Amino acid sequence: MIKYVIHGGKPLTGTVEISGAKNAALPILAATVLADGPCRVENIPSISDVSICTDILYNLGADVTVVDRHTLMIDPTRVNSFTVPSDLARSMRASYYFIGSLLGRMGQAKMTTPGGCDFGVRPIDQHIKGFEMLGAKWSMDRGMLCFSADSLVGGHVYLDVVSVGATINVMLAAVKARGLTVIENAAREPHIVDLANFLNTIGADIMGAGTDVIKIRGVSYLPGGSYSIIPDQIEAGTYMVAAAATKGDVTLKNVIPKHLESITAKLQEMGVEVEEGDECIRVRYVGELQKANVKTQPHPGFPTDMQPQITTLLCLAKGTSLVTENVFDNRFKYVDELRRMGANITVDGRVAVVEGVGGFQGAPVKAVDLRAGAAMLIAGVVATDRTEIEDIHHIERGYENVLEKFRKLGADIKRIDVPDDMRLAKAL
Ligand code: UD1
C-alpha cells in the first residue's frame, strides 16, 4: 500500500505554480470527440483522471499524441466507437461527458453509470432530461445506459437544479444539433466558460456561458484548433488554505484571482491577508484566525470542492464556526478522519459545527475522496508529529505533483510503499 507520511508543524513559505484546471480539462478532452480535425490542448494537468480520459479517447479510436507533459494533440477523425469501456467509466465521474460528445458526434452513446467521489446520491436525471429535450431516447441494457437519436434538434432545456455536469453534457450534445438550444438555470463555474471558449475556438457557436442562460446554435462542422486551459481554482484554493493553516506566507502563480474571490473573501473574513496581483495571489498569516460561517453554493458562491479544506482551517480558528453543505447531501464523511487528528466537529445533516481546537495531532488517516484527501494533507502539514495518509490515489486523481509542490514550500512529506506482508506482520 502506498501512503503519504508527513511530519508537519512548519509554516509553508515560498511560491507554488498552479496547474491547469482538472474540471475544465476533463470536459474539454471529452469535447474533442466532436471535432472534425485535430485539437491541440495546452496546460493540461498531469493527473490520473486525465490519463483515464485519454485512455477513453484511445479506446474510442482517437489519435492522442503527447506533445509535452502538459500538451496533447488529439485527432478524433477516426473515432469509430460509441461505447465507453466500463472499467474506465467507473473510475471517474467525468467519464459521463463522453455521453454528450458521442451523442453529438455519432447520434449514439453507451456507458455504464459513472464512478467518482461518493458524496451520497448523485443522480443524472437532468443530463437525461437535457438529452431527451434534444430528441435522444435512452434505455438501460444490462447495466449500460444506451442513448440514441436519429438526429439531434436544438431545444429549450430548463435545469431543475444548477448542475455543472448536466450543463456541460447538454452543451456537448447541442453543439452539432440542428438549430438553437437554450439552457436555462445553467451552472456558471469558470470551467463551463472555459469549455464554451474551447468549443468556440474549434468552431462552435455558444453564447452566454458564465451566466445562467446559455445559447448554443448548432453547427455542422468543427475544424479543430488550439486552446490553453485555465488554472485550477480548487488546487489554488487548497494551497491558499494550506498557507493560512500553517501560519505561512505563500505566493501562488498562474491563477485567475477573479475565480478565487469567494475563497479570498472567506480567508480575509478569518483574518488572513490576501494580496491579489495580475496572475498571482499572496496569502499570508498575520495573526489569530477568526471563526466564520461557510455555506457552499454553485458558482459564484463558495465552492463545495473547497468545503473540506475550509472546515479544516476553521478547526484552527478561535470560536465556533458553522459549515453548511448546500450542494451535496453527504459530503462530511472525512470529518471522522479529522476527528482522529483532534478536530472537534459535530455534524447534523448538512451542517457541521466546528469548535476551534488550535492545532492537530498527527494520526493515521484515510483520504476518503479527492478533496477530503486535500483536507488530510492540510491537517498533516499543520500537525507537529507524524501523520500517515492512506488511499492517496484519490488525491493523485486531482492534484498534480502534490508532493513536490508541498515540499518546495517547506513541508516534510514522503510517499512510501508499505509491502502488504509488512502490514500483516504489524497487525499480528
Ligand atoms: C461537478 C464537479 C465536482 C463538483 C460539483 C459541484 C466535475 C468532474 N465534478 O460534479 O467536483 O463538486 O460539480 O461544483 O467537474 N444533480 C441532480 N441531478 C443531475 C445532476 C446533478 O440532482 O442530473 C444534483 C447533484 O446531486 C448535486 C447538485 O445537483 O446535489 C450539483 O451537482 P453537479 O453540479 O451536477 O455536480 P457534478 O457535475 O457531479
Q: Quick one: pLDDT at residue 117?
A: 66
**With 80 as the cut, is the pLDDT of residue 426 above it?**
no
* Distance of alpha carbon 91 from alpha carbon 384, whole angstroms: 35
pLDDT digits (tens, 9 = 90+) for 94-153: 999 999 999 999 999 999 887 766 766 688 999 999 999 999 999 988 888 999 999 999
Assess whether 146 carries a catalytic annotation.
Answer: no
Which protein residue's CA is at the shortest distance from atom 19 of ligand 1? 124
Pocket of ligand 1, beta carbon within 6 A: 23, 26, 93-94, 122-127, 161, 163-166, 187, 304-305, 327-328
**With 60 as the cut, is the pLDDT of residue 271 above it?**
yes
* Distance of alpha carbon 400 from alpha carbon 95, whole angstroms: 19
8 Å CB contact between 396 and 47 = yes
Average pLDDT over residues 231-259: 98
Q: Quick one: pLDDT at residue 113?
A: 82
Among residues 360, 372, 264, which one has the least CA distance to residue 308? 372
Distance 161 CA to ligand 1 centre (A): 9
DSSP string, 269-326: HTTEEEEE-SSEEEEEE-S-PBP--EEB-STTSB-GGGHHHHHHHHTTSBSEEEEE--
What does pLDDT average to over the chain? Answer: 95
pLDDT digits (tens, 9 = 90+) for 180-211: 999 999 999 999 999 999 999 999 999 999 99
* Distance of alpha carbon 6 from alpha carbon 379, whole angstroms: 10
Burial of 419: CB neighbours in 10 Å, binned 0-12, 13-18, 19+: exposed
Task: Indicate the angle between helix axes 261-269 and 233-245, nearest 10 degrees.
Answer: 10
Q: Quick one: pLDDT at residue 306?
A: 98
Please give the single-letter amino acid code of residue 324. Answer: T
What's the whole-model pTM score?
Answer: 0.96
Pairing mode of beta strands 412-417, 2-7: antiparallel
pLDDT digits (tens, 9 = 90+) for 280-315: 999 999 999 999 999 999 999 999 999 999 999 999
Average pLDDT over residues 55-78: 97
Which protein residue's CA is at the shortest distance from atom 39 of ligand 1? 165
Selecting among 39, 53, 117, 315, the annotated active-site residue is 117
Atom number of ligand 1 nearest to Cα 126: 23
**Element spanning 190, H or E:** helix 190-201
Name residues whose C-beta falls within 8 Å of residue 123's C-beta, 6 or more positions apart in sequence: none
* Distance of alpha carbon 174 from alpha carbon 31, whole angstroms: 11
Name residues whose C-beta falls within 8 Å of residue 120's C-beta, 6 or more positions apart in sequence: 328, 329, 330, 331
In terms of residues, how long is the chain?
428
* Distance of alpha carbon 289 from alpha carbon 380, whole angstroms: 18
Distance 168 CA to ligand 1 centre (A): 11
Q: Quick one: pLDDT at residue 220?
A: 96
Mutational test site, ligand 1, from 161, 193, 331, max ligand atoms within 8 Å of CB: 161
**With 60 as the cut, is the pLDDT of residue 25 above it?**
yes
Which protein residue's CA is at the shortest distance from atom 32 of ligand 1? 163
What letters, b where the CB count within 10 A reaches 16 and e where it falls short, cover 113-148? ebbbbebeebebebbbebbebbbbebeeeeeebbbb
**With 90 as the cut, is the pLDDT of residue 356 above it?**
yes
Average pLDDT over residues 157-165: 97
Atom number of ligand 1 nearest to Cα 164: 34
**With 80 as the cut, is the pLDDT of residue 396 above it?**
yes
Distance 204 CA to ligand 1 centre (A): 24
Distance 41 CA to ligand 1 centre (A): 24
Confidence of residue 92 (pLDDT cuts 50, 70, 90): confident
Give the torsion sign (CA, 286, 289, 292, 297): positive
C-alpha cell at 317: 480558528
Atom number of ligand 1 nearest to Cα 329: 30
Strand order in the sheet with 294-295: 294-295, 320-324, 351-355, 344-348
What Å distances lie between residue 407 and 11, 300, 403, CA to CA?
12, 31, 6
Q: Quick one: pLDDT at residue 114?
A: 79
Atom number of ligand 1 nearest to Cα 370: 11
Among residues 307, 326, 327, 319, which one has the least CA distance to residue 266? 307
Percent of the chain with pLDDT over 90: 91
Please give the single-letter amino acid code of residue 352. Answer: A
Average pLDDT over residues 160-183: 97
- Cα 12–Cα 14–Cα 16 angle in degrees, nearest 5: 95
**With 70 as the cut, is the pLDDT of residue 38 above it?**
yes
